[in-house]
Structure 1
Amino acid sequence: MIPDFIYNPPDLPLDILYKDAQIIVVNKPAGLLSVPGKLAGREDCLTSRLQKAHWDTLLVHRLDCDTSGVMIFARTKQAQGFLGQEFEKRRAKKAYIAEVYGQLTPDHGHIDLPLCTDWPNRPRQMVDHANGRAAQTDWQVISRNAQTTRVRLFPLTGRSHQLRVHMLEQGCPILGDPIYATGKAREFPRLMLHAESLSLHHPQSGDWVSFAAPLPF
Protein backbone atom coordinates (compact mmCIF):
# COMPACT_ATOMS: atom_id res chain seq x y z
CA MET A 1 0.00 0.00 0.00
CA ILE A 2 1.33 3.42 -0.99
CA PRO A 3 1.16 5.89 1.93
CA ASP A 4 -0.56 9.25 1.46
CA PHE A 5 1.83 11.90 0.17
CA ILE A 6 2.32 14.64 2.77
CA TYR A 7 4.30 17.56 1.39
CA ASN A 8 6.51 19.19 3.98
CA PRO A 9 9.41 20.68 1.98
CA PRO A 10 12.69 21.40 3.79
CA ASP A 11 13.37 25.04 4.66
CA LEU A 12 16.95 25.17 3.43
CA PRO A 13 18.93 27.82 1.53
CA LEU A 14 19.69 27.19 -2.13
CA ASP A 15 22.82 25.08 -2.57
CA ILE A 16 24.17 26.41 -5.86
CA LEU A 17 27.06 24.32 -7.15
CA TYR A 18 27.84 26.44 -10.23
CA LYS A 19 26.36 29.28 -12.25
CA ASP A 20 27.20 31.40 -15.28
CA ALA A 21 25.23 33.34 -17.88
CA GLN A 22 23.84 30.14 -19.44
CA ILE A 23 23.29 27.60 -16.66
CA ILE A 24 22.69 27.15 -12.94
CA VAL A 25 23.59 23.86 -11.25
CA VAL A 26 21.98 23.12 -7.89
CA ASN A 27 22.13 20.42 -5.23
CA LYS A 28 18.43 19.62 -4.69
CA PRO A 29 17.52 18.48 -1.17
CA ALA A 30 15.37 15.41 -0.62
CA GLY A 31 11.72 16.24 0.02
CA LEU A 32 11.51 19.24 -2.32
CA LEU A 33 9.58 19.01 -5.58
CA SER A 34 11.49 19.89 -8.75
CA VAL A 35 8.42 21.62 -10.22
CA PRO A 36 5.08 22.70 -8.70
CA GLY A 37 2.66 19.91 -7.87
CA LYS A 38 -0.81 19.76 -9.40
CA LEU A 39 -2.65 20.02 -6.09
CA ALA A 40 -3.02 23.03 -3.81
CA GLY A 41 -0.26 23.41 -1.25
CA ARG A 42 2.45 22.04 -3.53
CA GLU A 43 3.51 25.27 -5.22
CA ASP A 44 6.82 25.47 -3.36
CA CYS A 45 9.53 23.75 -5.41
CA LEU A 46 13.15 24.07 -6.44
CA THR A 47 12.24 25.82 -9.71
CA SER A 48 10.15 28.50 -7.98
CA ARG A 49 12.80 29.06 -5.30
CA LEU A 50 15.47 29.48 -7.96
CA GLN A 51 13.29 31.86 -9.98
CA LYS A 52 12.94 34.14 -6.96
CA ALA A 53 16.73 34.50 -6.85
CA HIS A 54 17.35 34.21 -10.61
CA TRP A 55 14.33 35.29 -12.63
CA ASP A 56 15.66 33.72 -15.85
CA THR A 57 15.74 30.13 -14.51
CA LEU A 58 14.32 27.59 -16.99
CA LEU A 59 13.60 23.91 -16.32
CA VAL A 60 15.61 21.27 -18.21
CA HIS A 61 14.97 18.00 -16.35
CA ARG A 62 13.56 16.73 -13.05
CA LEU A 63 14.42 14.64 -10.04
CA ASP A 64 11.81 12.82 -7.95
CA CYS A 65 10.73 14.76 -4.86
CA ASP A 66 12.37 12.21 -2.55
CA THR A 67 15.68 12.16 -4.47
CA SER A 68 18.51 14.59 -3.70
CA GLY A 69 21.42 15.72 -5.83
CA VAL A 70 22.57 17.48 -8.98
CA MET A 71 20.07 19.36 -11.15
CA ILE A 72 20.93 21.69 -14.01
CA PHE A 73 18.78 24.64 -15.11
CA ALA A 74 19.11 26.88 -18.16
CA ARG A 75 19.13 30.69 -18.12
CA THR A 76 18.31 31.28 -21.81
CA LYS A 77 15.90 29.63 -24.23
CA GLN A 78 18.84 28.62 -26.41
CA ALA A 79 20.57 26.93 -23.48
CA GLN A 80 17.33 25.21 -22.50
CA GLY A 81 16.94 23.75 -25.99
CA PHE A 82 20.58 22.66 -26.14
CA LEU A 83 20.51 20.99 -22.73
CA GLY A 84 17.20 19.34 -23.52
CA GLN A 85 18.87 17.69 -26.51
CA GLU A 86 21.76 16.53 -24.31
CA PHE A 87 19.24 14.54 -22.28
CA GLU A 88 17.01 13.47 -25.17
CA LYS A 89 19.93 12.21 -27.26
CA ARG A 90 21.43 10.50 -24.18
CA ARG A 91 24.64 12.49 -24.34
CA ALA A 92 24.24 13.58 -20.71
CA LYS A 93 25.88 11.10 -18.33
CA LYS A 94 24.36 10.63 -14.88
CA ALA A 95 25.53 8.73 -11.82
CA TYR A 96 23.51 8.05 -8.66
CA ILE A 97 24.35 6.53 -5.30
CA ALA A 98 21.75 4.29 -3.65
CA GLU A 99 21.60 2.20 -0.51
CA VAL A 100 19.48 -0.87 -1.22
CA TYR A 101 18.03 -3.60 0.98
CA GLY A 102 19.66 -7.00 0.66
CA GLN A 103 22.69 -8.25 -1.25
CA LEU A 104 22.78 -7.00 -4.83
CA THR A 105 24.70 -9.51 -6.94
CA PRO A 106 26.93 -9.71 -8.86
CA ASP A 107 29.18 -6.71 -8.16
CA HIS A 108 28.25 -5.07 -11.47
CA GLY A 109 25.63 -5.58 -14.13
CA HIS A 110 23.19 -4.24 -16.69
CA ILE A 111 19.40 -4.07 -16.41
CA ASP A 112 17.17 -3.87 -19.50
CA LEU A 113 13.54 -3.82 -18.37
CA PRO A 114 10.92 -1.66 -20.14
CA LEU A 115 8.69 0.43 -17.89
CA CYS A 116 5.21 1.93 -17.99
CA THR A 117 2.81 3.56 -15.56
CA ASP A 118 0.78 1.27 -13.32
CA TRP A 119 -2.34 3.37 -13.94
CA PRO A 120 -4.57 2.01 -11.13
CA ASN A 121 -1.72 2.65 -8.68
CA ARG A 122 -0.24 5.92 -9.94
CA PRO A 123 2.45 7.22 -9.54
CA ARG A 124 3.77 3.66 -9.32
CA GLN A 125 5.62 2.36 -12.39
CA MET A 126 5.99 -1.27 -13.45
CA VAL A 127 7.83 -3.54 -15.86
CA ASP A 128 5.83 -4.20 -19.04
CA HIS A 129 7.59 -6.11 -21.82
CA ALA A 130 4.68 -5.63 -24.24
CA ASN A 131 3.89 -1.93 -23.84
CA GLY A 132 6.67 -0.43 -21.72
CA ARG A 133 9.23 2.11 -22.89
CA ALA A 134 12.86 1.00 -23.09
CA ALA A 135 14.75 1.48 -19.82
CA GLN A 136 18.36 0.51 -19.16
CA THR A 137 20.53 0.87 -16.07
CA ASP A 138 24.11 -0.17 -15.29
CA TRP A 139 25.24 -0.76 -11.72
CA GLN A 140 28.49 -1.08 -9.77
CA VAL A 141 28.56 -2.19 -6.12
CA ILE A 142 30.50 0.18 -3.84
CA SER A 143 30.26 -1.62 -0.50
CA ARG A 144 28.22 -4.13 1.46
CA ASN A 145 27.14 -4.80 5.03
CA ALA A 146 25.04 -7.53 6.60
CA GLN A 147 21.67 -6.28 5.34
CA THR A 148 22.29 -3.62 2.69
CA THR A 149 24.35 -2.81 -0.39
CA ARG A 150 25.67 0.60 -1.45
CA VAL A 151 25.65 0.85 -5.22
CA ARG A 152 26.44 3.37 -7.94
CA LEU A 153 23.75 3.46 -10.63
CA PHE A 154 24.16 4.71 -14.19
CA PRO A 155 20.80 5.27 -15.92
CA LEU A 156 21.18 5.02 -19.69
CA THR A 157 17.59 6.18 -20.16
CA GLY A 158 15.48 8.55 -18.09
CA ARG A 159 12.17 6.88 -17.31
CA SER A 160 10.05 7.83 -14.32
CA HIS A 161 11.13 5.89 -11.19
CA GLN A 162 13.56 3.91 -13.37
CA LEU A 163 16.23 3.29 -10.75
CA ARG A 164 13.68 2.56 -8.05
CA VAL A 165 11.85 -0.07 -10.12
CA HIS A 166 15.01 -1.60 -11.55
CA MET A 167 16.44 -2.12 -8.06
CA LEU A 168 13.12 -3.55 -6.88
CA GLU A 169 13.21 -6.02 -9.77
CA GLN A 170 16.62 -7.23 -8.57
CA GLY A 171 15.03 -7.99 -5.20
CA CYS A 172 16.81 -5.03 -3.60
CA PRO A 173 14.46 -2.05 -3.11
CA ILE A 174 16.05 1.29 -2.32
CA LEU A 175 15.91 1.97 1.42
CA GLY A 176 13.27 4.44 2.55
CA ASP A 177 11.26 4.22 -0.67
CA PRO A 178 7.65 5.08 0.28
CA ILE A 179 6.27 3.54 -2.92
CA TYR A 180 8.29 0.40 -3.64
CA ALA A 181 9.90 -0.64 -0.34
CA THR A 182 8.10 -2.60 2.38
CA GLY A 183 8.84 -3.70 5.94
CA LYS A 184 12.33 -2.94 7.23
CA ALA A 185 13.41 -1.56 3.85
CA ARG A 186 10.89 1.29 4.17
CA GLU A 187 11.86 2.23 7.73
CA PHE A 188 14.28 5.02 6.86
CA PRO A 189 13.77 8.78 7.22
CA ARG A 190 14.34 9.42 3.51
CA LEU A 191 14.71 7.71 0.15
CA MET A 192 18.36 6.65 0.03
CA LEU A 193 18.92 7.79 -3.54
CA HIS A 194 21.19 10.68 -4.52
CA ALA A 195 22.06 12.12 -7.93
CA GLU A 196 25.81 12.17 -7.40
CA SER A 197 27.05 13.63 -10.68
CA LEU A 198 26.02 14.98 -14.07
CA SER A 199 28.26 15.45 -17.10
CA LEU A 200 27.29 17.03 -20.43
CA HIS A 201 28.33 19.62 -23.01
CA HIS A 202 28.15 23.27 -22.01
CA PRO A 203 25.52 25.07 -24.12
CA GLN A 204 27.78 28.01 -24.98
CA SER A 205 31.34 26.67 -25.18
CA GLY A 206 30.54 23.09 -26.15
CA ASP A 207 33.08 21.92 -23.56
CA TRP A 208 32.42 18.69 -21.65
CA VAL A 209 31.64 19.73 -18.07
CA SER A 210 30.94 17.71 -14.92
CA PHE A 211 29.19 18.64 -11.69
CA ALA A 212 28.95 16.69 -8.43
CA ALA A 213 26.99 16.96 -5.19
CA PRO A 214 28.32 15.49 -1.92
CA LEU A 215 26.55 12.41 -0.60
CA PRO A 216 24.15 13.33 2.25
CA PHE A 217 23.88 9.82 3.72
Structure 2
Amino acid sequence: MPETDFDFCADFTLNEEGGYQKNPADPGNWTGGAIGQGILIGTNMGISAPCLRGWLNRVPTEADMRGLTESMFSQIYADLFWTPCGGAELPSGINLMVVDEAFNAGEETSLRQLAEVRSSLTPTRLIAPLFAMRLQATLGVRADGIIGPVTLEAIAAADALDLVHICALGSLQDNAYRQDAGFAEFGTDWLGRTARRVTSAFQLSNAARKAAS
Protein backbone atom coordinates (compact mmCIF):
# COMPACT_ATOMS: atom_id res chain seq x y z
CA MET A 1 0.00 0.00 0.00
CA PRO A 2 1.39 3.43 -0.91
CA GLU A 3 2.42 5.51 2.10
CA THR A 4 0.69 8.76 1.10
CA ASP A 5 -2.50 9.88 -0.58
CA PHE A 6 -0.41 11.18 -3.46
CA ASP A 7 1.25 7.79 -3.96
CA PHE A 8 -2.11 6.01 -3.78
CA CYS A 9 -3.74 8.34 -6.30
CA ALA A 10 -0.78 8.39 -8.69
CA ASP A 11 -0.58 4.60 -8.58
CA PHE A 12 -4.29 4.30 -9.32
CA THR A 13 -4.04 6.55 -12.37
CA LEU A 14 -0.88 4.88 -13.64
CA ASN A 15 -2.48 1.44 -13.34
CA GLU A 16 -5.49 2.66 -15.32
CA GLU A 17 -3.36 3.93 -18.19
CA GLY A 18 -1.51 1.93 -20.84
CA GLY A 19 1.98 2.19 -22.23
CA TYR A 20 3.18 3.89 -25.36
CA GLN A 21 0.83 4.18 -28.32
CA LYS A 22 0.86 6.26 -31.49
CA ASN A 23 -2.58 6.77 -33.01
CA PRO A 24 -2.82 9.45 -35.72
CA ALA A 25 -6.61 9.57 -35.24
CA ASP A 26 -6.22 10.67 -31.61
CA PRO A 27 -5.73 14.45 -31.14
CA GLY A 28 -3.80 13.82 -27.93
CA ASN A 29 -1.05 12.11 -29.91
CA TRP A 30 -0.21 15.35 -31.74
CA THR A 31 1.85 18.08 -30.09
CA GLY A 32 -0.60 20.70 -31.36
CA GLY A 33 -3.55 19.00 -29.65
CA ALA A 34 -5.48 18.40 -32.88
CA ILE A 35 -5.19 15.85 -35.65
CA GLY A 36 -2.54 16.97 -38.12
CA GLN A 37 -1.31 19.84 -35.96
CA GLY A 38 2.26 19.75 -34.73
CA ILE A 39 4.18 16.48 -34.59
CA LEU A 40 2.73 13.01 -34.14
CA ILE A 41 4.64 11.62 -31.13
CA GLY A 42 2.01 9.45 -29.44
CA THR A 43 1.13 9.15 -25.76
CA ASN A 44 2.64 7.17 -22.91
CA MET A 45 1.18 6.22 -19.51
CA GLY A 46 -1.75 8.47 -20.33
CA ILE A 47 0.46 11.53 -20.82
CA SER A 48 -0.67 13.28 -23.99
CA ALA A 49 1.62 15.06 -26.42
CA PRO A 50 0.28 18.54 -25.48
CA CYS A 51 0.65 17.67 -21.80
CA LEU A 52 4.28 16.68 -22.26
CA ARG A 53 4.87 19.80 -24.32
CA GLY A 54 3.56 21.98 -21.51
CA TRP A 55 5.58 20.19 -18.87
CA LEU A 56 8.84 20.32 -20.85
CA ASN A 57 8.11 23.87 -22.04
CA ARG A 58 9.25 22.90 -25.54
CA VAL A 59 8.06 20.78 -28.43
CA PRO A 60 8.76 17.16 -27.44
CA THR A 61 9.97 14.43 -29.76
CA GLU A 62 8.78 10.86 -30.11
CA ALA A 63 11.93 9.83 -28.23
CA ASP A 64 10.89 12.09 -25.35
CA MET A 65 7.49 10.41 -25.21
CA ARG A 66 8.84 6.88 -25.50
CA GLY A 67 11.44 7.68 -22.85
CA LEU A 68 8.99 8.66 -20.12
CA THR A 69 9.66 6.83 -16.86
CA GLU A 70 7.34 6.20 -13.93
CA SER A 71 9.33 8.75 -11.96
CA MET A 72 8.68 11.35 -14.66
CA PHE A 73 5.02 10.34 -14.71
CA SER A 74 4.80 11.01 -10.97
CA GLN A 75 6.36 14.44 -11.39
CA ILE A 76 4.02 15.36 -14.24
CA TYR A 77 1.10 14.06 -12.20
CA ALA A 78 2.16 16.26 -9.30
CA ASP A 79 2.89 19.39 -11.34
CA LEU A 80 -0.04 19.36 -13.77
CA PHE A 81 -2.83 17.54 -11.90
CA TRP A 82 -2.32 16.96 -8.17
CA THR A 83 -1.17 20.47 -7.28
CA PRO A 84 -3.55 22.43 -9.56
CA CYS A 85 -6.50 20.40 -8.24
CA GLY A 86 -5.45 20.91 -4.62
CA GLY A 87 -4.99 17.20 -4.01
CA ALA A 88 -3.08 17.70 -0.76
CA GLU A 89 -5.88 19.84 0.69
CA LEU A 90 -8.78 17.59 -0.31
CA PRO A 91 -10.05 14.85 2.02
CA SER A 92 -8.73 11.35 1.41
CA GLY A 93 -10.72 9.62 -1.30
CA ILE A 94 -12.19 12.81 -2.63
CA ASN A 95 -8.72 13.75 -3.84
CA LEU A 96 -8.61 10.56 -5.92
CA MET A 97 -12.04 11.28 -7.40
CA VAL A 98 -11.01 14.80 -8.39
CA VAL A 99 -7.43 14.28 -9.58
CA ASP A 100 -7.97 11.08 -11.57
CA GLU A 101 -11.01 12.65 -13.23
CA ALA A 102 -8.90 15.71 -14.08
CA PHE A 103 -6.29 13.43 -15.63
CA ASN A 104 -8.91 11.61 -17.69
CA ALA A 105 -11.44 14.33 -18.51
CA GLY A 106 -9.72 17.64 -17.80
CA GLU A 107 -9.13 19.83 -14.76
CA GLU A 108 -11.95 22.25 -15.60
CA THR A 109 -14.51 19.47 -15.81
CA SER A 110 -13.37 17.81 -12.60
CA LEU A 111 -13.28 20.99 -10.53
CA ARG A 112 -16.71 22.00 -11.83
CA GLN A 113 -18.10 18.66 -10.64
CA LEU A 114 -16.46 19.13 -7.24
CA ALA A 115 -17.95 22.62 -6.93
CA GLU A 116 -21.41 21.26 -7.76
CA VAL A 117 -21.16 18.63 -5.03
CA ARG A 118 -19.80 21.03 -2.44
CA SER A 119 -22.39 23.70 -3.16
CA SER A 120 -25.33 21.30 -2.90
CA LEU A 121 -27.33 21.52 0.31
CA THR A 122 -28.39 17.90 -0.18
CA PRO A 123 -25.58 16.09 -2.02
CA THR A 124 -27.34 12.75 -1.53
CA ARG A 125 -29.79 13.86 -4.22
CA LEU A 126 -26.95 13.83 -6.73
CA ILE A 127 -26.23 10.15 -6.12
CA ALA A 128 -27.41 7.70 -8.78
CA PRO A 129 -28.96 4.40 -7.57
CA LEU A 130 -25.89 2.31 -8.45
CA PHE A 131 -23.63 4.44 -6.27
CA ALA A 132 -26.30 4.75 -3.58
CA MET A 133 -26.24 0.96 -3.30
CA ARG A 134 -22.45 1.03 -2.86
CA LEU A 135 -22.82 3.59 -0.09
CA GLN A 136 -25.57 1.62 1.63
CA ALA A 137 -23.58 -1.62 1.48
CA THR A 138 -20.62 0.13 3.11
CA LEU A 139 -22.86 1.55 5.84
CA GLY A 140 -24.48 -1.82 6.49
CA VAL A 141 -28.04 -0.86 5.58
CA ARG A 142 -30.36 -2.31 2.95
CA ALA A 143 -28.84 -1.64 -0.48
CA ASP A 144 -31.95 -0.66 -2.42
CA GLY A 145 -30.50 2.40 -4.17
CA ILE A 146 -32.96 4.74 -2.45
CA ILE A 147 -31.49 7.15 0.08
CA GLY A 148 -34.20 7.57 2.68
CA PRO A 149 -34.33 8.15 6.44
CA VAL A 150 -32.56 4.88 7.33
CA THR A 151 -29.61 5.61 5.06
CA LEU A 152 -29.44 9.23 6.17
CA GLU A 153 -29.36 8.10 9.80
CA ALA A 154 -26.54 5.67 9.00
CA ILE A 155 -24.58 8.41 7.21
CA ALA A 156 -24.87 10.67 10.25
CA ALA A 157 -23.99 7.91 12.69
CA ALA A 158 -20.88 6.98 10.71
CA ASP A 159 -19.91 10.60 10.05
CA ALA A 160 -19.68 9.53 6.40
CA LEU A 161 -20.16 12.80 4.53
CA ASP A 162 -16.94 12.20 2.59
CA LEU A 163 -18.37 8.91 1.30
CA VAL A 164 -21.50 10.79 0.23
CA HIS A 165 -19.36 13.25 -1.70
CA ILE A 166 -17.41 10.41 -3.32
CA CYS A 167 -20.64 8.80 -4.51
CA ALA A 168 -22.01 12.12 -5.71
CA LEU A 169 -18.82 12.78 -7.68
CA GLY A 170 -18.94 9.28 -9.13
CA SER A 171 -22.52 9.86 -10.23
CA LEU A 172 -21.72 13.17 -11.92
CA GLN A 173 -18.68 11.68 -13.63
CA ASP A 174 -20.63 8.63 -14.80
CA ASN A 175 -23.34 10.84 -16.25
CA ALA A 176 -20.85 13.17 -17.95
CA TYR A 177 -19.19 10.25 -19.71
CA ARG A 178 -22.57 9.02 -20.93
CA GLN A 179 -23.18 12.43 -22.54
CA ASP A 180 -19.76 12.57 -24.21
CA ALA A 181 -19.55 12.24 -28.00
CA GLY A 182 -16.97 9.48 -27.63
CA PHE A 183 -19.17 7.32 -25.39
CA ALA A 184 -20.08 4.81 -28.11
CA GLU A 185 -16.40 3.99 -28.61
CA PHE A 186 -14.92 4.49 -25.15
CA GLY A 187 -17.90 4.37 -22.81
CA THR A 188 -17.32 0.90 -21.40
CA ASP A 189 -13.76 1.82 -20.40
CA TRP A 190 -14.83 5.17 -18.95
CA LEU A 191 -17.61 3.71 -16.82
CA GLY A 192 -15.40 0.87 -15.64
CA ARG A 193 -12.72 3.31 -14.58
CA THR A 194 -15.28 5.42 -12.72
CA ALA A 195 -16.54 2.40 -10.82
CA ARG A 196 -12.99 1.40 -9.87
CA ARG A 197 -12.25 5.00 -8.91
CA VAL A 198 -15.15 5.02 -6.46
CA THR A 199 -14.11 1.68 -4.98
CA SER A 200 -10.53 2.87 -4.46
CA ALA A 201 -11.72 6.23 -3.11
CA PHE A 202 -13.79 4.38 -0.50
CA GLN A 203 -10.70 2.41 0.49
CA LEU A 204 -8.64 5.56 0.87
CA SER A 205 -11.34 7.41 2.80
CA ASN A 206 -12.06 4.50 5.13
CA ALA A 207 -8.34 4.04 5.83
CA ALA A 208 -8.01 7.72 6.74
CA ARG A 209 -11.08 7.58 8.99
CA LYS A 210 -9.73 4.46 10.72
CA ALA A 211 -6.32 6.09 11.24
CA ALA A 212 -7.97 9.15 12.78
CA SER A 213 -10.15 7.19 15.20
Question: Structure with the greater relative contact order (CA < 8 A, sep ≥ 6): 1 or 2?
Answer: 1
State TM-score, norm by structure 1.
Answer: 0.31
Structure number with larger C-alpha Rg = 2
Structure number with higher helix proportion:
2
